Amino acid sequence: MVKSEGPADGVTHDASDNASDGDPQEELLTLEELTARVGLTVRTVRFYTSRGLVPPPIRRGRSGYYSAAHLARIELVLELQSHGFTLSAIERYVAGIPEDATPEDITLARTMLAPWQSDLPVEMDREQLEKKAGRALSAEDIATLQALGVLRIRGTSYLVASNQLSIGMRLLELGFPREVAVAAAAVYQEHGEQMAKELYEVINDKLAPLYGDATTSEHFREIMERLKPLSVGGLVSAYESAVARAARTPRRR
């Protein structure tokens, strides 16, 4: 048995402190076992703890241990990082998770985060991006493409929806205003968040309970993967119908 994290780390707490301590009968991991499971260093796990992304370890006597809830939260953080979330954005996201959220709740949230379309973004540096775009890009161009959802900035690189880049470039050539892209992005964000919340509730309340432990059910994971493209298609169809109805409605000034 490897050595567990002890009180010298200054971050352990009593098992009665909060809901993250879990059932006394559940399997607990030492710090070394946890890092081996998630592929992180001890230093990184402690950094996540210091930033509030992961609760402090559970204290058992003079040793600290980690539960399934700790594991689920770390995997969620890693999922968010893979989607290009900055540290501050991850902190805001994690802060919105209830303290009493179960590992199943957190795992379902992570499953919902996984890409809903097959065309995953490609990471490029500035030179690669401009080569793909066919010309040099100004700061204004980059900002407009970002507002259009064609790319996201990750540090000094870019996550690019390569199949949409040509469309974005053509819009730039046609003089598409950045402020319109920003305004449209705000609409997508507002209604996208509401749809995501409602869809999460439907899946959490009506679908996940049918498959027992959704955190380990391969059947549930396969259903989610097959459901995603149909959901995207359904959303597009609903949007097209709504736009058609709006176009038929006389505009009042």
Report pLDDT digits (tens) over 112-153. Answer: 776 655 556 788 999 999 999 999 999 999 999 999 989 988
What percentage of residues in the chain have a pLDDT greater than 70? 81
> Are 166 and 217 found together in one domain?
no
Cβ atoms of residues 71 and 103 within 8 Å: yes
pLDDT of residue 20: 43
233 in the same domain as 209: yes
Count of the separate structural domains present in the chain: 3
Mean of per-residue pLDDT scores for the chain: 81
- Residue 244 belongs to some domain of the structure: yes
Q: Report the run of H or E that residue 46 belongs to, with start and end.
A: helix 42-50
In a domain, 1, yes or no: no
30 vs 3: CA distance, rounded Å: 7
**Domain contains 72:** yes
pTM (predicted TM-score):
0.49
Count CB neighbours of 56 within 10 A. 21
For residue 111, CA distances in Å to 71, 218, 220 come to 14, 12, 10
Query: Is position 85 within any domain?
Result: yes
Do residues 196 and 162 both lie within one domain? no
Q: What residues make up the domain containing 126?
A: 117-176
Among 60, 82, 113, residue at a domain's last position: 113
Please report whether residue 171 resides in a domain. Answer: yes
Average pLDDT score over residue span 224-242: 77
- Looking at the structure, tell me whether residues 11 and 97 fall in a common domain: yes
Calpha distance 68→194 (Å, rounded) = 29
Is residue 158 located within the same domain as residue 171? yes
> End-to-end distance of the chain based on CA atoms, in angstroms?
74
Helices (H) and strands (E) in the chain, counts: 10, 6
Structural domain includes residue 253? yes
Domain boundary residue, one of 153, 176, 199: 176
